[in-house]
Amino acid sequence: MFVLQNALELVGNTPMVDVSNLSPNPNVRLVAKLESQNPYGSVKDRIAKSMIEDAERTGRLVPGQRILEPSSGNTGIALAAIAKMKGYPITILMPTSVSIERRQMLEVFGADIILTPGEEGSNGAVSRAQEMAAQHPEWCFLYQYANDANPRAHFETTGPEIWRDCPEITHFVAGLGTSGTLMGVGTYLKQQNADIKIIAIEPPLGERVEGLRNLDD
């Protein structure tokens, strides 16, 4: 049995499972990609790894530099875990509406947590993070909402994995948060087969769903 160098080697190549029994239409084959099998528990492991490695490669993140990021949970957890592994201090901003369990996970990985008003949702955390980034230009503000390494992670890994394991795919469905998964996977799949339909799922305007957001909110 071999031993991996670190948990980053486990990010990606998640399994796909047939869940057609969940569909009310017996003529539809439904397949789910189990992103919870990533080492830190979600699809966000992919973008956390991608954004940190991209920042290191381009010189925006150097040893000892603090990472700053707003997150409703999963991205923050993945970033904090990788930051601890690599020796970076990290500050995560999140609304008070985020579950206690997610905050505890961040604490386990040594993150500094700054809470913003829950009624402001993720937008409040983003605004506060932008203010802090302006006040501390010496920090590395990854900003997943406008970081090319976010959709690129899915274009380079998630999309190819789906196409490899399920080349007969006709529709791809994903929830909207930063929209990185949808853009990265959707772009890759469309390049393989222009007939594939890309479907985005977002909560109703004003609804608070952890990890998802309405683009008009």
The token pair at 86 is 């690599």
Positions of the chain with pLDDT lower than 50, given as ranges: none
Residue ranges, comma separated, of all CATH 3.40.50.1100 domains in the chain are 7-42+148-201, 45-146
Q: Is the pTM of this model over 0.75?
A: yes
Q: What is the pLDDT of residue 203?
A: 77
Q: What is the pLDDT of residue 2?
A: 79
Class of domain 45-146: alpha beta
- Give residue-wise pLDDT tens across range 20-47: 999 999 999 999 999 999 999 999 999 9
With tokens 């594939």, the residue in question is 196
Class of domain 7-42+148-201: alpha beta
Buried-state track 150-180, b at ≥16 Cβ within 10 A, e below 16? bbbbbbbbbbbbbbeeeeebeebebbbbbbb
Nearest alpha-carbon partner for 71 in 170, 194, 213, 167: 213
Q: What is the pLDDT of residue 181?
A: 96
Q: What is the pLDDT of residue 211?
A: 64
Contact in structure between 144 and 180 (CB atoms under 8 Å): yes
Residue 86 designated active-site:
no
- Give residue-wise pLDDT tens across range 170-206: 999 999 888 999 999 999 999 999 999 999 998 777 6
* Active-site position among 33, 44, 190, 197: 44
